[in-house]
Structure 1
Amino acid sequence: MSDQIELSSPPFDSVSQVRFSPTNPNHLLVAAWDTTVRFYDVAANEQKAKFDHRAAVLTTCFSDTNHAYSGCLDASVRELNLETEKIQHVGQHNDAISCMNYSSESNAVITGSWDRTLRFWDHRSASPQQLSHDLPERVYHMDLTKNTLVVAMASRMFHIYDIRKMDMPAQQRESSLKFMTRSLACMVDGQGYATASTEGRIAVEYFDPSPEAQEKKYAFKCHRQTIEDVDHVWPVNALAFHPIYNTFASAGSDGTVSIWDHKLKKRLRQYQKYKAAIPSVAFNCDGTRLAVGVSYTWDDGEEGLKNAERPAVFVRKVGDEVKPKG
């Protein structure tokens, strides 16, 4: 199949996150439970660098062309120099770091942790940690669009912040979905976000608190299949908005990736099924490729590990199927 490649030298253990460079459409980071962050040039299908950590890496992000960050189960934040392959310890949370984003608006790396804090690190200063913000619950996911930060926590809580005034959240919401939040992504036009749950549903939400805007929000079922009259429901592990068209991809433990037009409330495409669950997906900065991390996600505990496929990362060329129809 020529519209996708499988990356050579993938991680040995489950993929936790795939993340493209904000400026180079061929540069990809892959964080994994094998305690590595791998840096690839996907056009050449080559691993350019590998960063070994002391614990599973749960999250990673680029800050610029040559620098990235990692957040680990050992609660450490590290800076990765993609040219020299050097690792520098930036700072520490009190528990695992579950998610991170880089804000070009404020030149800060923002980390969310199970220790119930958000922390901002200014990598240009000698003592990088600027600010720590206490939250009511463990942080599971977050995403950033311009100056708006959405934080998904345990107990189905959401906080929405303007990162220029972090003294309190601009909005506090409860998830529209009944079950635990498994993924979150902000729309590229800054109007809202999508969130998904362990129970095969996606909700589309809008930031504008006015009743008119809030009337547009909705939720729908997906990543489900009826097999011999039994309904099988899978967690939706990952969401990613297309950087140009604002359509989005969803990926689940059923091994499928779908493309959705959230305005028309329609599925535009479902790609052929992968051999294992999909913990993470990402579009590149020019919207021509989609990275798909494929690996066992522990939905079936120890038992499922016996038959687990080895982890893989695929990079798929995308075409008109990601364009809205209207």
Structure 2
Amino acid sequence: MSNFSSITTASNPNPNKSIEVAQPPSDSVSSLSFSPKANILVATSWDNQVRCWEIMRNGPTVGSVPKASISHDQPVLCSAWKDDGTTVFSGGCDKQVKMWPLLSGGQPMTVAMHDAPIKEVAWIPEMNLLATGSWDKTLKYWDTRQPNPVHTQQLPDRCYALTVRHPLMVVGTADRNLIVFNLQNPQTEFKRITSPLKYQTRCVAAFPDQQGFLVGSIEGRVGVHHLDDAQQSKNFTFKCHREGNEIYSVNSLNFHPVHHTFATAGSDGAFNFWDKDSKQRLKAMSRCSQPIPCSTFNNDGSIFAYSVCYDWSKGAENHNPATAKSYIFLHLPQEAEVKGKPRIGTSGRK
């Protein structure tokens, strides 16, 4: 009986009974970003599109209305909002970032360029600058009113992941480098760390208190790393997104904006909620039938958006367009799923 139930779960894209977003992208979703000011969701996709939905919520009833979209010339890999919620930035394989004045209905314009695909983009309101990380091994800062970057920072390798909580910025590159910047002095590396995880970095997330960061790898592990040398004893790694001998990538790390617990999402099709301080998993959700490549909380943490689609980790030969439909789902976290728990005893071990 248990085998049968696992089979039915594995073939169901929505075993957690989440709310399905209307008119999802026609190809895999690469990033999800909520407006910091409203329940407006943006998704970028391998179908070269950036799409926007308005999410309406009335108690437990949630609906989505497709609002607008723009095109890139090639697959789009990343997105970010301006802090005032007016504007979306998107970058990808066409080596450019487009600035889309979404709320005013304006036309998108190119505001950043690299020599290779742009993997990460982040708006830094404290500096009024856009940061872009590329596979051309550079990090660039842009004043969107000027055609040239205000600073280009050489990276040791291709940018794979980026997280900002001013003044902390962490860039994860190929070859397991983690480069830490203090944005009060952005032209100098603050610290360079070799990832505590043995395999390729997939995602990073700065602590809300800027005292450290999470790093996730392709090998189903997350590292919790503090920057202060006096706090190194608090560092640890843990396994997640594994099923028996099967090991899956950790694709996404998101801190809850209120409770400061965090979510992981992986290529096993599962998402989980964790409390790093008590070292506990708060909630494990059922596995979806395809990987979860990206996820995000809305601005008050009442909605968790995640995509379910092929993530290309097994190559083009395992991609079946007939069955590989892309979905975006909305989960409404219960407080018990995302609110931290007091440490058990003194060790707080799981």
TM-score by length of 1: 0.94
| Residues 100 and 112 in structure 1, CA contact (< 8 A), matched pair in contact too | yes
Matches within 5 A, 1:1-326: 4-24=18-38, 26-43=39-56, 44-63=63-82, 64-83=84-103, 84-123=105-144, 125-127=145-147, 129-208=149-228, 210=229, 212-226=230-244, 231-306=245-320, 308-320=323-335, 321-326=337-342
Percent of pairs with identical residues: 34
1:2 and 1:113 map into 2 onto residues whose CA distance is: 35
Task: Give the SS at the match of 1:184.
Answer: strand
| Residues 20 and 329 in structure 2, CA contact (< 8 A), matched pair in contact too | yes
Task: Give the SS at the match of 1:303.
Answer: helix
Deviates more, 1:1-10 or 1:60-69: 1-10
1:268 and 1:319 map into 2 onto residues whose CA distance is: 11
Q: 1:37 to 1:164 in 2, by over 3 A?
A: same
- Residue 164 of structure 1 and its aligned partner are, at CA, apart by 2.3
Q: 1:217 to 1:86 in 2, by over 3 A?
A: same
| Residues 166 and 183 in structure 2, CA contact (< 8 A), matched pair in contact too | no
Task: Give the SS at the match of 2:259.
Answer: coil
2:181 and 2:323 map into 1 onto residues whose CA distance is: 39
- Residue 308 of structure 1 and its aligned partner are, at CA, apart by 4.3
The residue type paired with residue 41 of structure 1 is E
- Residue 302 of structure 1 and its aligned partner are, at CA, apart by 2.2
| Residues 196 and 236 in structure 1, CA contact (< 8 A), matched pair in contact too | yes
The residue type paired with residue 202 of structure 2 is R
Task: Give the SS at the match of 2:318.
Answer: helix
C-alpha RMSD of matched pairs (Å): 1.5
Other-structure match for 2:8:
none
- Residue 215 of structure 1 and its aligned partner are, at CA, apart by 1.0
Structure 1 unaligned blocks of 5 or more: none
- Residue 314 of structure 1 and its aligned partner are, at CA, apart by 0.5
1:300 and 1:222 map into 2 onto residues whose CA distance is: 19
Question: For residues 103-147 of structure 1, what are the alpha-carbon distances to aligned partners after superposition, in whole Å with 9 as ceiling and x for unaligned?
Answer: 111111100000111111112x34352111111111110000121
| Residues 168 and 206 in structure 2, CA contact (< 8 A), matched pair in contact too | no
1:71 and 1:6 map into 2 onto residues whose CA distance is: 25
The residue type paired with residue 251 of structure 2 is N
Across the two proteins, how many residue pairs are aligned to each other?
A: 318
Question: For residues 183-242 of structure 1, what are the alpha-carbon distances to aligned partners after superposition, in whole Å with 9 as ceiling and x for unaligned?
Answer: 11112122211111111111001121x2x301100001111112xxxx111111111111
Question: For residues 30-68 of structure 1, what are the alpha-carbon distances to aligned partners after superposition, in whole Å with 9 as ceiling and x for unaligned?
Answer: 011000111111224011111111110000111132211
- Residue 303 of structure 1 and its aligned partner are, at CA, apart by 2.8
Name the one with the larger strand percent.
1
Question: For residues 68-108 of structure 1, what are the alpha-carbon distances to aligned partners after superposition, in whole Å with 9 as ceiling and x for unaligned?
Answer: 11111011111012131511111310100000111111111
1:14 and 1:99 map into 2 onto residues whose CA distance is: 17
| Residues 16 and 286 in structure 2, CA contact (< 8 A), matched pair in contact too | no
The residue type paired with residue 169 of structure 2 is L
Deviates more, 1:275-284 or 1:303-312: 303-312
- Residue 167 of structure 1 and its aligned partner are, at CA, apart by 2.3
